[in-house]
Amino acid sequence: MEAVRTAVVGAGYWGPNLIRNFRTTPLADLRWVVDVDLERARAALPTQTDVRTTDTLAEMLGDDQVEAVAVATPPGTHHDIVLQCIDAGKHVLVEKPLASTAAEGKAVVEAAEETGVTIMADHTFCYTESVRRIRDIIASGKIGDFLYFDSVRINLGLIQSEVDVFWDLAPHDISILDFILPPGVAIDSVSAHASDPLGVGHACVGYLFARLSNGATAHAHLNWLSPTKIRRVIIGGSQKMLVWDDLQPAQRVTIYDSGIELTSEPTERARLLVSYRVGDMLAPAFREVEALRRVVDEFATSIRENRRPLTDGRAGLRVLQVLEAVGTSLSCQGASIPVASLVPE
């Protein structure tokens, strides 16, 4: 496959990781790095390189040889930068979240679809071997009916000045949930509660509850102020249960053949009785591959194959819709807010 000629916009926190992967994959040919701080752009590259640097987006977009652009700038800049890339006919990979609002996300997705260029959301966790394996297990029907999703994403983290804990951490859990849900199941509504114990002006501790279209539920606990770091997801099925612990590299995914069974006797007392099934525990072995490498390879391959990437613009838009509903719920003292009504398909 011919390498896709690419550029990376933004050499701050996430940009250098994208730059490294675009430089090392044979599926891409990195041509430009763009950053408002030219020295920072140069520092993200080896001393001896053919990759060009600039602090002007228009200079890179004027290069007809560039086919695709990866955007790793602050979320508030995504809308304008992505639209400029689309107007220039470039395919776009966008760091999460896709934009600052669902309306902006809808605008960039529609612009890409009208222009015929690929737009992909960098939902990196969806490209980890753990999440890919979980998605396959759920799709195979081995866990039975999807009952619940329970996530804990906490640590003593960097207090963000531009966004709250939901916009900082929840995109990971929302994108993972969106990626692994069985076909036809979606997030119907959300409610959220939060606190700002430090008085920084927005939520530092948050709890998100979602109701799914099949009657199942999802929950995420998000916290910047925890003395311990936890990255754990529990998924309950009617036949089996899964635990994903991202901080346990030797056993990231564990499958439990466990469950609860109700008695079928017609008496009132019997209806209150349950039996517990505790079976085998399985920890599948799999080879770890850097998720971001899979992201850039999927971006390049989807362009060459003229197909939608696994986490396309619509996936990014669905995450934005949930985040916007979370904000509405917070302003309404935790009320349940429908998701689909915010930005119709």
Structure tokens at 42: 């140069």
Q: Name the segment(s) of the chain with CATH classification 3.40.50.720.
A: 4-123+291-311
Q: How confident is the model over 132-184, as pLDDT tens digits?
A: 999 999 999 999 999 999 999 999 988 888 889 999 999 999 999 999 999 99
Q: How confident is the model over 67-126, as pLDDT tens digits?
A: 999 999 998 999 999 999 999 999 999 999 999 999 999 999 999 999 999 999 999 999
Question: Per CATH, is 4-123+291-311 categorized as 3.40.50.720?
Answer: yes
Please tell me the distance from the alpha carbon of residue 69 to that of residue 337, in angstroms, as a whole number.
Answer: 35
Beta strands 217-223; 146-156: pairing state: parallel
The pTM of this model reads 0.92
Please tell me the distance from the alpha carbon of residue 295 to that of residue 167, in angstroms, as a whole number.
Answer: 21
Percent of the chain, pLDDT > 70? 95
Structure tokens at 133: 């394996």
Q: Name the segment(s) of the chain with CATH classification 3.30.360.10.
A: 126-289+323-338
DSSP symbols for 54-80: ES-HHHHHT-TT--EEEE-S-HHHHHH
Q: Which fold has domain 126-289+323-338?
A: Dihydrodipicolinate Reductase; domain 2 (3.30.360)
1 band by pLDDT with thresholds 50, 70 and 90: confident
